[in-house]
């Protein structure tokens, strides 16, 4: 393997090809904070806490998943890096329900420790509707309080790569993203074998043990730690999206009744199939109406009057986003992008783009599909 020299915080470090910036930094005892990363799990690169500045790169890069290359010059403590880490953590804390950061009764978690390390206090802003899920106490093994989940995905990876089960997946998208079990069901005894690995890897109090943690240690013995993500179904996973699209076209939705069958055929978990089915906006797990109205809810369209379209459609059809009219003619969905920013305010009806909309024009468009 070839040697690779990099400079981190002014120190020349000799690394090996394939090593990440984080590994090179650790080799020289340079601390880079991490959150979604764990040494014995494959990299996810979702939290952006480990960002560093790299000469020549217009953006900050994630140290935990960016490989080093010859001559790289890295700064781990520049003002830009520190500001970015703080802002990321503050957003996480704001989206995270619960008084834990100010409540001394709650055992310190990694998120709180990171807040102390980065000198981040209680968030300066609050989300009007923070993510909230009632705590789930159905499983005798794991208590789930997903309002405290920061979507680091460590539980998913630990369960898949260490426990060699595939209990958790990510479902939905954007702000609605959530760690799910099967088709977003309760964690039950049948799927979970009580190894407690997910609890140990959870950096917050989102996953806790209803019983005492010491009881689990024996069960963990014998669990083989794997360094690379398992690819036991590598021949089949690539077929998933095609199968879901066919099902959507054939039946008008990908219902949770067909998901276990697809999972079995591809030898992947039900949760993974459900996660993909709820991620893509052209797929739906519930039956939709004959015509589907899609409006973009992202910032550029918001600034170009998307709220006006939403209001007019709501009034005209008498339904809220996410619903279908009683006669089954229209479903009304909000999406992150419909690819029509240049024509905004715009909406999609099925595959047709209608742009430069005014309230009158919207009513005419709706009438033409009635």
Q: Rounded CA gap, 60 and 78, in Å?
A: 11
State the number of binding residues for ligand SF4 (CB under 6 A): 14
Closest of 216, 200, 198 to residue 160, by C-alpha: 198
> Considering the rule CB under 6 A, would residue 34 count as an interface residue with ligand FES?
yes
What is the CB neighbour count within 10 angstroms for residue 72? Answer: 22
CB-based contacts of 128: which residues, under 8 Å, 6+ apart? none
Least distance from C-beta 150 to ligand FES, angstroms?
8
- Rule CB under 6 A: is residue 25 a binding residue for ligand SF4? no
Max Cα–Cα distance, the chain, nearest Å: 69
SS (H, E, C) 81-111: HHHHHHHHHHHHHHHCCCCCCCCCCCCCCHH
Residue of the chain from 6, 25, 30, 35 that contacts ligand FES (CB under 6 A):
35
Contact string (CB under 6 A) for ligand FES, positions 134-153, x = contact: --------------x-----
CA distance 162 to 230: 10
Stretch 36-75: interaction string toward ligand FES, x if CB under 6 A: xx-------xxxxxx-----------x-x-----------
**109 lies in the site for ligand FES, by CB under 6 A:** yes
Could you say which of 54, 109, 207, 259 contacts ligand SF4 (CB under 6 A)? Answer: 207
**Does 205 help bind ligand FES (rule: CB under 6 A)?**
yes
> In 3D, which of 79, 205, 92, 95 has the Cα closest to residue 142?
205
Nearer to ligand FES, 45 or 252 (CB): 45
Q: How far is CA 335 from CA 29, 307, 316, in A?
A: 45, 13, 19
Q: 38 vs 354, which CB is nearer to ligand FES?
A: 38
Identify the CA nearest to 185 among candidates 259, 288, 268: 259
- Point out which span in 118-126, 150-158, 314-322, 362-370 binds ligand SF4 (CB under 6 A): 150-158
Tell me which residues touch ligand FES (CB under 6 A).
34-37, 45-50, 62, 64, 96, 98, 100-101, 109, 111-112, 148, 204-205
Tell me which residues touch ligand SF4 (CB under 6 A).
149-155, 179, 201-204, 206-207
């Amino acid at each position: 393997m070839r040697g690779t020299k990099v400079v981190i915080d002014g120190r020349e470090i000799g690394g090996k090809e394939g090593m990440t910036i984080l590994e090179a930094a650790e080799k020289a005892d340079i601390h880079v904070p991490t959150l979604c990363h764990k040494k014995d799990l494959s990299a996810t690169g979702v939290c952006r806490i480990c960002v560093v500045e790299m000469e020549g790169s217009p953006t900050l890069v994630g140290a935990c998943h960016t490989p080093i290359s010859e001559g790289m010059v890295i700064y781990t403590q520049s003002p830009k890096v520190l500001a970015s880490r703080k802002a990321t953590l503050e957003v996480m804390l704001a989206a995270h329900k619960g008084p834990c950061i100010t409540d001394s009764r709650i055992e310190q978690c990694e998120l709180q420790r990171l807040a102390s390390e980065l000198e981040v206090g209680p968030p300066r802003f609050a989300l009007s509707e923070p993510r909230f899920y009632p705590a789930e106490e159905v499983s005798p093994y794991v208590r789930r309080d997903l309002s405290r989940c920061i979507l680091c995905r460590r539980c998913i990876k630990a369960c898949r790569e260490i426990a060699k089960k595939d209990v958790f997946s990510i479902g939905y998208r954007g702000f609605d993203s959530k760690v799910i079990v099967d088709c977003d069901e309760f964690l039950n005894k049948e799927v979970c074998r009580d190894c407690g690995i997910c609890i140990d890897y959870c950096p917050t109090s989102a996953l806790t043990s209803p019983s005492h943690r010491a009881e689990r240690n024996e069960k963990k013995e014998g669990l083989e730690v794997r360094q690379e993500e398992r690819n036991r179904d590598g021949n089949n996973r690539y077929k998933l999206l095609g199968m879901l699209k066919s099902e959507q076209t054939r039946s008008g939705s990908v219902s949770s009744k067909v998901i276990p069958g697809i999972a079995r055929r591809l030898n992947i978990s039900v949760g993974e199939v459900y996660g993909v089915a709820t991620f893509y906006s052209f797929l739906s797990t519930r039956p939709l109406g004959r015509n589907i109205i899609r409006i973009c809810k992202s910032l550029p369209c918001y600034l170009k009057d998307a709220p006006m379209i939403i209001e007019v459609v709501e009034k005209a059809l008498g339904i809220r986003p996410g619903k279908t009219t009683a006669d089954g003619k229209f479903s009304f969905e909000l999406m992150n992008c419909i690819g029509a920013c240049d024509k905004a305010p715009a909406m999609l009806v099925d595959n047709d783009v209608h742009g430069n909309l005014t309230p009158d024009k919207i009513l005419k468009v709706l009438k033409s599909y009635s």
